[in-house]
Amino acid sequence: MPRENGEVADGALWSETETPVPLGSHSETAALGEPASNGDRAAASIPPRRHRESEPSADDFAAERMLRTPARRPASGWRRALFHLSAGQIRVAPSAAELRHRELVARVKTPIRGCRKIAFISRKGGVGKTSTCLLAGHTFAAHRGDRVVALDGNPDAGTLGHRIHRETTATVTSLLADADEIERYADVRGYTSQAPTRLEVVAADDDPRVTQAIGEDEFKRAIRLLERHYNLICLDTGTGVLESATRGILNAADQVVVVIAPSLDGARAASSTLDWLEENGYRHLVDGAVGVINGVRSYNGVVDLDRIESHFAARCRATVRIPWDSHLETGAETVVEELQPETRQAYLELAAAVATSFVDPPGRRS
């Protein structure tokens, strides 16, 4: 009588993936009644291997399958209060804002292959370029597990090193002077100051006895040294894109963040920065640029920020608005916890916008 698919005479079920016995083999000859050799009898006594995909194995004991993972605790607001008051018995679904926050954090954590270098640039001074570089670095360092460093690339007494608690008097100049002796991360760590977020900063020289600024070649060497020990480097630049130091930073950069003041002349200067990059061999950086309208107040008078943002949205891959925050206006040491929640959220948006390009290969000039 006909048998079910895969059934054999002795009632055993064979896997559909079992390899059939080739015609003309010794095993087939034995099956047709020919005398079998001792080797054939031994082979015939071994039961066929069965398909084991659905059978129990040690692979079943994965944490995702065997552990009852508790729901994530609400991060803030009345949902968090209700969770604590009910001893975790009442869990309300996360709000749209919390889901957005989780999505942004996940993007900020995008893995990096090798080292990624991000230059913060503007042709106009006083637009908050240094604070934007610093706070973006803080955001990356706070959420990522790898090493993040910010390098002050302003050749004329940059202030990045004054925005965190200084742990060392070392500067980029002393780093370069001792470059031949730096082999491990523990060596380079002696030239950086680290914030509570884990962001490290290499300060610029502000010694009045310094009479000659370091230039393109020196910054190239500094970046090559740092990229051996860090996964992400935030590069603060001076106000002049024509400076030798800025050239060295742009030649090493994988991405740029263009900082825009919320004013007519600030927007014009930022747009001319993009023009200069396009005309001088950095078109690849413009294509992946992120525009930051920095210091946006609740009321900006007659300036139409929507039009400004629309202009840069057409030229950059993404644009982000950073609100004005009194804590950043002092120019003193920046404490992330003292920023307004809206400011911290805006910098998370910025970091996520930058990190979106981490999946792409670095776009450097040859």
For the chain, the domains span 114-359
Confidence band of 53 (pLDDT split at 50, 70, 90): low
Of 106, 45, 39, 113, nearest in space to 72 by CA = 106
pLDDT exceeds 50 at position 2:
no
d(CA 265, CA 275): 15
| Residues 78 and 70 sit within 8 Å (Cβ to Cβ) | no
Determine the pLDDT at residue 71. 59
Say if strands 290-296 and 318-323 run parallel, antiparallel, or are unpaired: parallel
Q: How far apart are CA 35 and CA 118, in angstroms?
A: 77
Confidence at 57, pLDDT banded by 50, 70, 90: confident
Residue type, 86: S
**Number of helices and strands (H, E) in the chain?**
15, 8
Q: Are 311 and 267 in contact (CB under 8 A)?
A: yes
Quote the pLDDT of residue 21. 45
Q: Identify which of 18, 364, 338, 342 has the alpha carbon closest to the alpha carbon of residue 163.
A: 338
Max mean pLDDT range (3-7, 12-16, 33-37, 182-186): 182-186
Query: Of the candidates 366, 148, 132, which has an alpha carbon nearest to the alpha carbon of residue 251?
Result: 366
Q: Write out pLDDT tens, residues 284-327.
A: 999 999 999 999 998 867 899 999 999 999 999 999 999 999 99
pLDDT tens figures, 156-180: 778 899 999 999 999 999 999 999 9
**Residue 78 buriedness (CB in 10 A; 0-12 / 13-18 / 19+):** exposed
pLDDT band per the 50, 70, 90 thresholds, residue 96: confident
C-alpha pair distances (Å), 169 with each of 162, 216, 302:
11, 23, 45
Name the least confident of 146-155, 200-209, 262-271: 200-209
Distance separating alpha carbons of residues 70 and 94, to the nearest angstrom: 14
CATH superfamily of 114-359: P-loop containing nucleotide triphosphate hydrolases (3.40.50.300)
Q: Is the pLDDT of residue 148 over 90?
A: yes
Q: Name the CA dihedral angle for 214, 114, 318, 333, rounded to a multiple of 10 degrees.
A: -50
pLDDT per residue as tens digits for the range 223-247: 999 999 999 999 999 877 878 889 9
Within 8 A by CB and 6+ apart from 144, the residues are 108, 109, 231, 232
Pairing of strands 193-194, 200-202: antiparallel
Q: How far apart are CA 71 and CA 224, in angstroms?
A: 44
pLDDT of residue 28: 42
